[in-house]
Amino acid sequence: MSSRLRSARLARSLSQRQLAALAGVSRQAVAAVEAGRSEPSLRLALALAGVLGVGVEDLFAAESALPAIRAEPLAPLGREGSRVALAPLAGRLVAVPLHADAGVRSGFTPAGGLVGGPAGTVRPVGAIRPCVVVAGCDPALSLLEAPLALLDPPLGLLWRPCASAGALELAARGMVHAAGTHVRDREGGTYNHRARERLGPSSRLLGFSSWRQGLVLRPDLDGRVTCVGDIAALGLRLANREPGSEARAVLDRAAARDGVAVHELAGSSSEVHGHLQVAAAIASGLADAGVASEPAALAYGLAFVPLSTERFDLAVPPVHADAPEVRALTTVLGSPWLRGQLALIPGYDATTCGVPAAGP
């Protein structure tokens, strides 16, 4: 009960003092209910629920009494009792399991519910906050959270970390508002026009960032390794990205140019999910080399050999083109604050942020 009141208050960006003033009660009364030190009177419960725009039962019913509701998972939900993040999306509810990269950034991510009840259902643990739902591998997507929370009304960010192929699959099913992609087109050096082929000609591509992708190496290998052939010759251990990732495609193309069979490289069977995760594996000594973005290499102080310059766009499927969440996302992408934050991260080029991609 107390956690639900606090979640509903924070979802509306209200302090305890602000909520108390709007409800005509004392801040101490709100704090006591949130801390579980006091049961709310009927008058207090009605006042708080009215300000927060939710039913009294939804806000103050015992958590065990909350019914399980069906949600559409963006990835397998895991065992009963597992934490999930929840967001409404075009009349349905989507869920992201909070494990591995989705569950931890610099700390644990707040949960919106728990897996439980019949298959495909979850039990909310608080008010379900309107969110922009995105999928993609760029770790800078987390920067969207702060400006979305400052909008009126405020929005949350539900982010499913995954490779471009997985993100586009979710977009094709209408499961995300936008899919992050940096896939090279079949011909030439352009990027992401194949996303329109996957999602349809009326889909949109919104620019987010550009970076170089290449070989990430232990610092002592700087200058000694300049290509995949050197990795093979020195018998270095590889931190390989998962199938469907553009990083894996970059490795395959570079290996083919050098006449190297990727499956013969030590560590080729590994599957590391994410640019920062590749860099972390190398920095911790679990691998010697891998393919990831330059910002990831710089963040961990590793050596870097560029192989390609890539554009990372957000592909919006036609079904969500007019959604208010997409309009909010477009506003945030065009903000000087977001461009400035991207530009502060070494290795990022923010000039495409918020700029629609030209047609093929």
pLDDT at 176: 96
Contact 313, 191 (CB under 8 A): yes
Residue (of 251, 277, 276) closest to 264 by Cα position: 251
Which structural domains are found in the chain, ordered by start? 2-65 (1.10.260.40), 69-124 (no CATH), 130-360 (3.40.190.290)
- Work out the pLDDT band at 3, boundaries 50, 70, 90: low
pLDDT digits (tens, 9 = 90+) for 20-46: 888 888 988 888 888 777 888 878 888
pLDDT for 185 beyond 50: yes
Going from the C-alpha of 320 to that of each of 96, 182, 228, 248, 292, the distances in angstroms are 19, 20, 41, 30, 30
Find the mean pLDDT for residues 195-218: 92
Greater pLDDT, 306 or 300: 306
Give dist(CA 19, CA 24) in Å, integer. 8
**Region of poorest pLDDT, from 5-9, 224-228, 247-251:** 5-9
Regarding pTM above 0.75, the answer is no
pLDDT above 70 covers what percent of the chain? 92
Find the mean pLDDT for residues 77-86: 79
Share the mean pLDDT of the chain.
86
Which residues pair with residue 135 across a beta bridge?
A: 160, 179
Contact 36, 89 (CB under 8 A): no
Rg from Cα positions in the chain: 23
Contact 338, 144 (CB under 8 A): yes
Amino acid sitting at position 335: S
Give dist(CA 134, CA 175) in Å, integer. 9
Give dist(CA 70, CA 269) in Å, integer. 36
Give dist(CA 243, CA 220) in Å, integer. 29
